[in-house]
Chains A and B, each alone.
Chain A
Amino acid sequence: MAEYKLLLEHSHEPEFRTLHGYLARGGYAALNRAKGMERQAIIDEVKTSGLRGRGGAGFPTWIKWNGIEKEKTRPHYLICNADEGEPGTFKDKQLMETTPFLVIEGMTIAALATQADAGYIYIRGEFVDAAKSLRAAIDEAYAHGYLGQNILGTGLNFDLYIHMGAGSYECGEESALMSSLMGERGMPRLKFPHAPLPTVAGVWDQPTIINNVETYAAAVPILAKGGEWYVTLGANTKNSRGTKIFSVSAHVNKPGNYEIEFGTPLMELLDLAGGMKGGALKACVPGGSSVPMLNAEDCQNAILAYEELWETGSMVGSGGCMFLNEHTCIVSYTWRTAQFYAMESCGKCTPCREGTKWMLQILERILRGNGQPGDMDLLMEITKQIDGRSFCGLGDAAAWPVAGAIKKFPEEFEYFIKNGRSMVDTPEARAMAPRWAQRAFSAV
């Protein structure tokens, strides 16, 4: 299998960012088809396609769309989660920058199906180039009747706004994102079953759909070519249909975004990314910083699909795939992961606020050569205290990679704690380490 470019097909063509260029390459065929369909038929098409959310959790998209009240009694909102913050992931950025009309058309289709009045694209603050590209596309779409009043004669009035974040990973979590959109600190809210679903009471307490950038974009080929066609992609997997963009980075020769059909072996993704750089494969974090790592042996059999990757011990997540070479000190890598979550924890709940900091402190003392004999057990215990006991998914996401690394590479943690030095004693490993930890690695 090679790349299967469904969303990224025209990504390299600058004209695709203009309405003219988009139309010339089949743009808006999907909306034109959807506008002749019943609202329920659009949702059913998405159901047939088997599309699952590309933001990390893999939730069936049609269920969200179907959950919006059919007899409209109040405003309906659509949110595009473009807060992409998961370390290792950079696909939404490329989609917005190079294929802005796919995002706009996908959202317009969703608006048509759910009678949405307004949509908000919540973009992470750093993504200025992506936002500029979307801005230009939105302006053009308004000017030509693809947004605003009575879109393409459908009777749909749909306004699309850009809302920029200001630096917070937690705002990618959907309820925190809604808080942020409403002008608050990016803290998550109580969720179902303790509170209504967003489709019933989301942003401003109105029915709301929230999907990832890639999810909306995928709705375009689904409506253009049909759900029946879409399910033929990834047909050999248990329940993963269509294509998925993986952002490949770290120790590879050609880092970048690669769109593949579900069911592609992980090792083929590595080939697409030019193979390993600087040393042999040691570990892979296939779906963004939150997911447990795989060792080289796991990688040989890993298949890129939701259930299949889960059975191998990891997850598709957001598709941020990092390959790590033999010079990687797993303890150092894990410490840096822990720092990320400790920095980004919003502080609302105790297990995550305290637990992420404790994990960081323990990993830091190991890295400084001051690890204590019980530290591995202590770390595992803390991950158990966080996982499933936190208010939102960030806590779980902080616990999994630490627990996963200890499970896959226990000997490296043991060695570091016992000897006060890294087991990976190469100049390359030393070159990666923060200055204060370099003592634990030999010089050239």
Chain B
Amino acid sequence: MSELIQLGAQRPKAPAPDQLELRFSDKAIAELDALRTHYPTEKACILPGLWIAQREYDGYLSPAAIAEVAHRLHRSYAEVEGVATFYSMYTTAHQPGRHMIEVCTCLSCHMCGAYRIADYLEAKLGVKLGETTPDGVFTIHEVECLDACDRAPVLQVGDQYVGPVTEADIDALLDRLRNEDSSAVVQLADSIVQVHLRDTERAK
């Protein structure tokens, strides 16, 4: 519990309304406009709006990012922050690494050796689950069932599932990801935004 309280204390405060810096690209604004037509209320755009923000803000829903979503959707900061922090796929605690590797240790994966996979990742990267490597390349996380139990033990990296994984697969995966400059975290957010939109609504 104390950790959580500390985390709250460390989290920068919401920007004051007159200090709002809007960062959404034209593409993002167009996407949000298209989304507004999908629902009878603007409020319903909060979840997809947060996905857009997670992409626009390099994979991290900072207070500034949340403030921008709240501003654009005419909601209060507190409301949007409350929504963002409820869901585990929104990254609100800190800036994640370029690649987020999520290890499922839930039931079937537990049964199929996921804890050894988690140990191996920790040893290989020299960080614990929940942490980011000092070079900012990898963040590793433990997650609940990814509903890909037929591939247990399974990892999620960006929008891809990898499994069943072995230690050798992890070596290969880390080598490949290290050489990839684009951020899998941003990529995932973008894929999620895109599937909301019809071909006629997507930016060409």
Give chain A's interface residues, CB within 8 Å of chain B: 75, 84-90, 93, 123-129, 131-132, 134-135, 138-139, 142, 161-169, 180-186, 204, 247-251, 255-257, 285, 289, 320, 322, 324, 328, 332-333, 336-337, 340, 343-344, 346, 431-435
Nearest to A75 among chain B residues (CB) is B40
Are A183 and B83 interface neighbours, CB within 8 A? yes
In the complex, whether B111 has a CB less than 8 A from a CB of chain A is yes
Known A-B contacts A90-B147, A93-B148; A186 and B87 likewise in contact (beta carbons under 8 Å): yes
Nearest to B150 among chain A residues (CB) is A255
Are B105 and A336 interface neighbours, CB within 8 A? yes
A134 surroundings in chain B (CB, below 8 A): 195
Are A85 and B196 interface neighbours, CB within 8 A? no
In the complex, whether B115 has a CB less than 8 A from a CB of chain A is yes
In chain B, residues 97-123, which have Cβ atoms closer than 8 Å to a Cβ of chain A? 105-108, 110-113, 115-116, 119
Which residue of the partner chain, among A84, A131, A249, A332, contacts B152 with CB atoms under 8 Å?
A: A249
A346 surroundings in chain B (CB, below 8 A): 86
Are A185 and B47 interface neighbours, CB within 8 A? no
Are B108 and A162 interface neighbours, CB within 8 A? no
Are B195 and A132 interface neighbours, CB within 8 A? yes
Are A166 and B47 interface neighbours, CB within 8 A? yes
In the complex, whether B29 has a CB less than 8 A from a CB of chain A is no
How many angstroms between the C-alpha atoms of A256 and B151 in the bound complex?
Answer: 8
How many angstroms between the C-alpha atoms of A248 and B107 in the bound complex?
Answer: 12
Most buried by B among A169, A255, A328: A255
B168 surroundings in chain A (CB, below 8 A): none
How many angstroms between the C-alpha atoms of A395 and B144 in the bound complex?
Answer: 17
> In the complex, what's the smallest C-beta–C-beta distance from A279 to chain B, in angstroms?
11
Which residue of the partner chain, among A166, A204, A324, A435, contacts B51 with CB atoms under 8 Å?
A: A166
Known A-B contacts A162-B195, A249-B150; A129 and B159 likewise in contact (beta carbons under 8 Å): yes
**What are the 9 tightest A-B residue pairs by CB atom distance, in nearest-first order?**
A167-B88, A167-B89, A166-B87, A87-B145, A183-B46, A249-B149, A128-B159, A255-B150, A131-B195
How many angstroms between the C-alpha atoms of A75 and B150 in the bound complex?
Answer: 40
**A-B interface pairs (CB < 8 A), number:** 169
Are A431 and B89 interface neighbours, CB within 8 A? no
In the complex, whether B30 has a CB less than 8 A from a CB of chain A is no
Nearest to A169 among chain B residues (CB) is B144
Nearest to A84 among chain B residues (CB) is B147
B82 surroundings in chain A (CB, below 8 A): 185
In the complex, whether B94 has a CB less than 8 A from a CB of chain A is no
Known A-B contacts A167-B89, A336-B106; A88 and B149 likewise in contact (beta carbons under 8 Å): yes
Are A204 and B149 interface neighbours, CB within 8 A? no
Are A88 and B145 interface neighbours, CB within 8 A? yes
Which residue of the partner chain, among A84, A337, A432, contacts B113 with CB atoms under 8 Å?
A: A432
In the complex, whether B66 has a CB less than 8 A from a CB of chain A is no
In chain B, residues 43-96, which have Cβ atoms closer than 8 Å to a Cβ of chain A? 43-48, 50-51, 82-83, 86-90
A181 surroundings in chain B (CB, below 8 A): 44
Give chain B's interface residues, CB within 8 Å of chain A: 38-41, 43-48, 50-51, 82-83, 86-90, 105-108, 110-113, 115-116, 119, 144-152, 156, 159, 161, 188, 191-192, 194-196, 198-199
Nearest to B43 among chain A residues (CB) is A183
A86 surroundings in chain B (CB, below 8 A): 145, 147
Nearest to B196 among chain A residues (CB) is A162
> In the complex, what's the smallest C-beta–C-beta distance from A344 to chain B, in angstroms?
7
Known A-B contacts A126-B89, A161-B38, A166-B87; A250 and B195 likewise in contact (beta carbons under 8 Å): no
Known A-B contacts A85-B147, A182-B41; A164 and B48 likewise in contact (beta carbons under 8 Å): yes
> In the complex, what's the smallest C-beta–C-beta distance from B106 to chain A, in angstroms?
5
A84 surroundings in chain B (CB, below 8 A): 147
Query: Would you list 5 pairs from A and B whose C-beta atoms are within 8 A, ordered by A residue?
Result: A88-B145, A132-B191, A138-B198, A168-B86, A340-B144
Nearest to A161 among chain B residues (CB) is B38
Are B106 and A340 interface neighbours, CB within 8 A? yes
Known A-B contacts A340-B106, A431-B113; A163 and B48 likewise in contact (beta carbons under 8 Å): yes
A168 surroundings in chain B (CB, below 8 A): 86-88
How many angstroms between the C-alpha atoms of A185 and B33 in the bound complex?
Answer: 22
Are A340 and B195 interface neighbours, CB within 8 A? no
Are B195 and A135 interface neighbours, CB within 8 A? yes
B191 surroundings in chain A (CB, below 8 A): 128, 132
> In the complex, what's the smallest C-beta–C-beta distance from A383 to chain B, in angstroms?
18
Are B149 and A87 interface neighbours, CB within 8 A? yes
> In the complex, what's the smallest C-beta–C-beta distance from A319 to chain B, in angstroms?
12
Known A-B contacts A183-B83, A289-B145, A322-B107; A166 and B44 likewise in contact (beta carbons under 8 Å): no
Are B107 and A250 interface neighbours, CB within 8 A? yes
Are A89 and B48 interface neighbours, CB within 8 A? no
> In the complex, what's the smallest C-beta–C-beta distance from B78 to chain A, in angstroms?
12
Are B198 and A139 interface neighbours, CB within 8 A? yes
Are B148 and A128 interface neighbours, CB within 8 A? no
How many angstroms between the C-alpha atoms of A289 and B108 in the bound complex?
Answer: 10
How many angstroms between the C-alpha atoms of A289 and B145 in the bound complex?
Answer: 10
Are B149 and A255 interface neighbours, CB within 8 A? yes
> In the complex, what's the smallest C-beta–C-beta distance from B182 to chain A, in angstroms?
16
Are A333 and B107 interface neighbours, CB within 8 A? yes
How many angstroms between the C-alpha atoms of A433 and B147 in the bound complex?
Answer: 21
Which residue of the partner chain, among A139, A183, A186, A320, contacts B149 with CB atoms under 8 Å?
A: A320
Are A322 and B111 interface neighbours, CB within 8 A? yes
Are B115 and A344 interface neighbours, CB within 8 A? no
Are B144 and A164 interface neighbours, CB within 8 A? no
Query: Given contacts A167-B89, A435-B115, could you give 5 more A-B pairs where the C-beta distance is less than 8 Å?
Result: A90-B149, A124-B147, A161-B196, A167-B87, A432-B110
